Amino acid sequence: MIVNRRIAVPVAATLAALSALILSPVALGADGEGTAGRIDDVYITYFCFAVIAFFAVVVTVLSLIQGRLDAKKEQRRHDLDRFNS
């Protein structure tokens, strides 16, 4: 029997979502204690500082990359104008 893809994909996605919703309480049943153990305020504070630092570094690095790419683009544009004149 050939299954229509228009039906099979949404049914598979629905079954996957339902199974994730059904099985998640079993996975999280250790009194809310995750793989890192008991979490205190210092751990959360350091984690949040790390997230802030990560995004600051990403923005800085991507800005530097964009600046170099813009400089290369302007150099090529200048060279093309110089050679075409």
How many residues are given for the chain?
85
Longest dimension (CA), the chain: 75
Dihedral angle, C-alpha 58, 61, 67, 69, nearest 10 °: -100
C-alpha pair distances (Å), 47 with each of 19, 50, 58, 73: 31, 5, 16, 39
Q: Which domain holds residue 64?
A: 5-31+39-84
Q: What is the pLDDT of residues 64-82, one digit of tens each?
A: 999 999 999 999 999 998 9
Number of independent structural domains in the chain: 1
Global pTM value: 0.55
Q: What is the pLDDT of residues 24-46, one digit of tens each?
A: 766 666 676 777 778 889 999 99
User: Which residues, at least 6 apart from 43, have a Cβ–Cβ distance to it below 8 Å?
Assistant: 36
